[in-house]
Homo-oligomer: A and B are copies of this chain.
Amino acid sequence: MFDSILKNVHEKTPLVHCITNYVTVNDVANILLACGGSPIMADDERDAVEITGICNALVINIGTLNERTIATMLKTGKRANELSHPVVLDPVGAGASKLRTDTTFKLLEEVRFSVIRGNISEIKTVSRGSGTTKGVDADVSDAVTDENLDETISFAKDLSLRTGAVIAITGAIDIVADSNKVYVIRNGHPMMSKVSGTGCMLAAVIAAYCAANPDNHLDATAAAVSAFGLCGELAYDRLVRNDGGTSSYRTYLIDAMSKLDAETLKGGAKIESR
C-alpha cells in the first residue's frame, strides 16, 4: 500500500509551503524536490497567507522563530485550515525555552494540525508541558526503547485523541499513531543524528505525502517516516563504500530520496502495525 502512496506523490508534485528555520531551510527545499514535491518558502504575513492559498500543504517549524514569524505562523495556519490543507507542526526545541513552549501551545490552540512530528522530548512537551529537551535533541532519559514501547504507544494514541493530529515520534524507533492505530517503524540509521535538520526534512516530506494522499494522513505519515529512514539506510551503505563523513552522508540521504521508487520502499520498509 505504501508504494501507491509514494506513486501519488510523484504523480501529483504537491507544492508545500514551509515556514521554517533558516538553519536547515535549504535542505528542506531540496528534500521536497527530491521526494517528488515542490517547495515554497514565505514568512512575511502579507506574503505567506496568500502563498499558502496556491499550495497543497503547510509546514510550521519553530526552529528559529521570532515575533514576526510567530504571527505569520498563526495566521497562515488558520488560512490553511480554512482551505483544508494538511498542516504539519514541527515543534523544534519545544521545552527548551519558554518562547518555544508557549508558541507551541498557542499554535495548538489556534490551528488544527494534521500531523505533529517531533522527537520524544518535544512531543512530551506538546503533551504535558513537561519533557526535558536538551537543545534540539531528545533527552537520553526520554528515549523510546522496546522496554517502554507499549507505554509510548498509549501516550501517542492519547495525544492523537486530544489533538486530532497524527502523532509522529521519531528516534531510533519511530512511532506513528492516531487514536485507533499505530505503526512502529524501525527504518533509519544512527548517522542521521549527525546531520543537522533531518527532523525538519522529514516534517516537510510528511507534508508532501499527506498532500498527495489526503484520504489517509496516518498511512501517508507512516510511509514518509519509513521512506526517509530507508533513505538513511541506503545513504549509509553508500557512505561505507565511499569512505565519507557526515557531509557526504547528508548528500547521499537527499540523493537516496531522489531515487527512491515504490519497489525499493516496498522491499525496505520495516513497519508493523498495532
Q: Does A33 contact B (CB under 8 A)?
A: yes
Given contacts A29-B23, A34-B247, A64-B42, contact A99 B258 (CB under 8 A): no
Tally A residues with Cβ within 8 Å of B: 60
- Find chain B residues with CB under 8 A from A65 CB: 44, 47
| Interface bits A28-43 vs B (CB < 8 Å: 1, else 0) | 0110011000111111
A258 touches B254 (CB 8 A): no
Q: Does A142 contact B (CB under 8 A)?
A: no
- Find chain B residues with CB under 8 A from A137 CB: 38
Nearest residue (CB) in B for A51 is B97
Smallest CB separation, A77 vs chain B (Å)? 17
B51 touches A23 (CB 8 A): no
A66 touches B40 (CB 8 A): no
Q: Does A46 contact B (CB under 8 A)?
A: yes
Given contacts A25-B23, A29-B196, A194-B33, contact A50 B245 (CB under 8 A): no
Tell me the complex Cα distance, A194–B30, Å.
8
Smallest CB separation, A244 vs chain B (Å)? 5
Given contacts A23-B29, A100-B47, A251-B247, contact A15 B66 (CB under 8 A): no
Q: Which of A2-52 contact B (CB under 8 A)?
A: 15, 21-27, 29-30, 33-34, 38-44, 46-47, 50-51
- Find chain B residues with CB under 8 A from A43 CB: 64, 66
Sample (23) of A-B pairs whose CB atoms are under 8 Å apart? A15-B134, A21-B41, A22-B25, A22-B41, A23-B39, A29-B196, A30-B196, A33-B194, A34-B246, A38-B135, A40-B93, A42-B97, A44-B64, A44-B67, A47-B65, A50-B97, A54-B96, A55-B135, A245-B259, A247-B250, A247-B253, A247-B254, A251-B251
A196: which of B39, B55, B253 is its contact (CB, 8 Å)?
A: B39
Smallest CB separation, A40 vs chain B (Å)? 4
A34 touches B194 (CB 8 A): yes
Q: Does A257 contact B (CB under 8 A)?
A: yes
B255 touches A99 (CB 8 A): no
Smallest CB separation, A248 vs chain B (Å)? 5
Tell me the complex Cα distance, A236–B202, Å.
27
A66: which of B34, B44, B50, B254 is its contact (CB, 8 Å)?
A: B44
B24 touches A22 (CB 8 A): no
Smallest CB separation, A135 vs chain B (Å)? 4
Q: Does A136 contact B (CB under 8 A)?
A: yes
